[in-house]
Each structure stands twice: as structure tokens, then as C-alpha cells.
Amino acid sequence: MKTRITELFGIQHPIIQGGMHYVGFAEMAAAVSNAGGLGIITGLTQRTPEGLAAEIARCRTMTDKPFGVNLTFLPAVTPPDYPGFVKSIIDGGIKIVETAGNNPQKYLPALKEAGVKVIHKCTAVRHALKAESIGCDAVSVDGFECGGHPGEDDVPNMILLPRAGETLKIPFVASGGMADGRSLVAALAMGADGMNMGTRFIATVEAPVHPHVKQAIVDATELDTRLIMRPLRNTERVLNNAAVEKLLATEKELGPKLTFADIAEEVAGVYPRIMKDGEMDAGGWSCGMVAGLIHDIPTVKALIDRIIAEAESLIRQRLEGMLAA
């Protein structure tokens, strides 16, 4: 399958594995890239630029295919060493970067000079247009269904993707609710050039997370996610559990008086306990509504091969058949 995204990134299939905290290690990125998609190492999971440099080097021993790095720009009292992370990316020979969070404009000149292609994750058309205007090569358009941070506009992909398609000039991929060949064909039909998957890739053999996490996704339905931190305008979609229920009760009780400190126990520093140790009630962790479409834990290659086969079948048989009728 050939799209503007496969051409831009030099990949076989228009499928990207998004950056995910404590999931996007070398094992995950290499598995996706080896299967013909675009694997992504999550930069900030590595904590230091030196750690990221080592992870990039480790990934190079696992694949000779293109892979990228996610760099999320977040407001913080003590911000990460972003210049150091950018240097590690450039020095490591990375040619594809997925940016997210705040505006990446400050770091684009250095990345561009090094020949790096930048795809920025956006939750609104106005943000996508801004990314286009500052020189991003592509955008990942994140619908309300997505795990993690869906923004505050609550626009689902059935509306957001066509809006992006009629507005943007640069390529874009659909993110949020993507799981299979149906997702890919639908995304292409609405103007996207591929799709970005997060939650679906967690439930794979190679995903370097605890088996409890994978099974929780398989067991979940589309009704089992919750939106947290909405009163703080930092909304995150997470899988429901005891800690999330406690957090939501705190939000309801405190109302407009809520501060981050009131819910820190359920969200701060919980990812290692969940992803590595399998403590499923340790706190809130990002999970999309797409969990309702995830019923197994295949290898990454089997998953991607199945997606492409299903997409081709849908296009050539079901959709063409409708025209013939």
C-alpha cells in the first residue's frame, strides 16, 4: 500500500506505532519497523539524553529499517533536558521524530538541518494547521476516542479526520480508535494517509509490558475507559480501575478547588508499577476506547500482516462489490 506517509518515511505499510510511556522501548519499535510499519522509541521514558542515545543504539542492533523517536514537550517545574534529547536524536542518526504536547517550533531548525522529518500529534484542526505553518512534515490527528490526552474539544475521528483532510496540505495519519483493517480503510477514506496505533500495539507479544496489562486490554470493552484530570484541562483517557474510581470521586468532591496535588497519588510515577510490575490498580494509565476491538495478543508481524490483508480485502471485494452492484 502506497500513500504519502509511506513515501515520506520510507516504510512499507502506512502504520505507525505512536510514542507510549514505558511501552516505546527498542523492542517495541524494532518489532513494528521489522514488520513494515514505523516503530517509535519514547524519548522521555529514557529520562536522560544519555539513556535515549543508548536506547537508539540498542534498537539499531534489532532492525535495519526506519524507526523514529517520540519527544513530548510538557510544561514542568523542572523541564527535561530537551536540547540534550534533540542532540541525542540527531547524533543517533534518527531521521523521523514524532513530537507531541506543546509547540515544537523552537527545536525544528536543528532537526530540519539534520534532515529529520517531523510528525506532530494534534487534537484539533487549528493545531494541525499551526504545525503545518511552522514547517512540520506531517501531523497525527488524534480523535476524542484516543488513549492518553484527547484535548478538550471532544471531536471524534468521524468528524475530525474529514475536517483535517479538507484543510491540510501536508500528509496526516489518523490516531485514536485504530485497531484493524477496517480502521485503516476508514481512515484512508476520510482523507488520512495512514494510521497511528497505540493501545492495539500494547496487546502484542513483543510489547515490553507486564502480561497483566495486555490481558486487561483484551478483557476490556469500549465502555471501560474514563476521562480523568478534566477539571485541570489536562484530560487523559485511561482504563478504569480502583485507583481511577478513587481519583474521579476526589474530582467530584473537590470540584473547582481540585489541584494536581489532590490526585497525584493516582497519576504521578505510576507507569513503572503498572507497565513493568503489573500492578493494575496502581493508578491511571492511558488506554483508548479501541480496547473494545482488541481480542487477542498476536505478534506484531501477524497483526500488521492481518491489518493489511483485511484492508486489501475490504477495498477490493466489499467496496468494489458495492460499486458493481
38-54 per-position pLDDT tens digit: 999 999 999 999 999 99
Domain-embedded: residue 311? no
Domain-embedded: residue 56? yes
Strand partners, 70: 42, 98
Range of the domain at 22: 4-208
Domain-embedded: residue 144? yes
Domain-embedded: residue 288? no
Instruction: Give the per-residue pLDDT at 3.
Output: 98
Sheet with 172-175, edge to edge strand ranges: 15-17, 195-197, 172-175, 138-142, 117-122, 96-101, 67-73, 39-42
CATH (domain of 181): 3.20.20.70
Which phi and psi angles does 85 have, rounded to 5°? Answer: -65, -45
Cα 29 from chain centre: 12
- Each residue's pLDDT, cut to its tens digit, for the chain (325 residues) gives 999 999 999 999 999 999 999 999 999 999 999 999 999 999 999 999 999 999 999 999 999 999 999 999 987 778 899 999 999 999 999 999 999 999 999 999 999 999 999 999 999 999 999 999 999 999 999 999 999 999 999 999 999 999 999 999 999 999 999 999 999 999 999 999 999 999 999 999 999 999 999 999 999 999 999 999 999 999 999 999 999 999 999 999 999 999 999 999 999 999 999 999 999 999 999 999 999 999 999 999 999 999 999 999 999 999 999 997 6
Question: What is the identity of the amino acid at 84?
Answer: G
Distances from the Cα of 95 to the Cα of 69, 118, 232, angstroms? 9, 8, 35
Tally the domains of the chain. 1
Q: How crowded is residue 187: how many other Cβ atoms within 10 Å of its Cβ?
A: 26
Domain-embedded: residue 37? yes
Domain-embedded: residue 81? yes
Domain-embedded: residue 67? yes
Query: Which grid coordinates are listed for 87?
Result: 542532540
User: Which residue matches cell numbers 500500500?
Assistant: 1
Instruction: Give the per-residue pLDDT at 325.
Output: 60
Domain-embedded: residue 91? yes
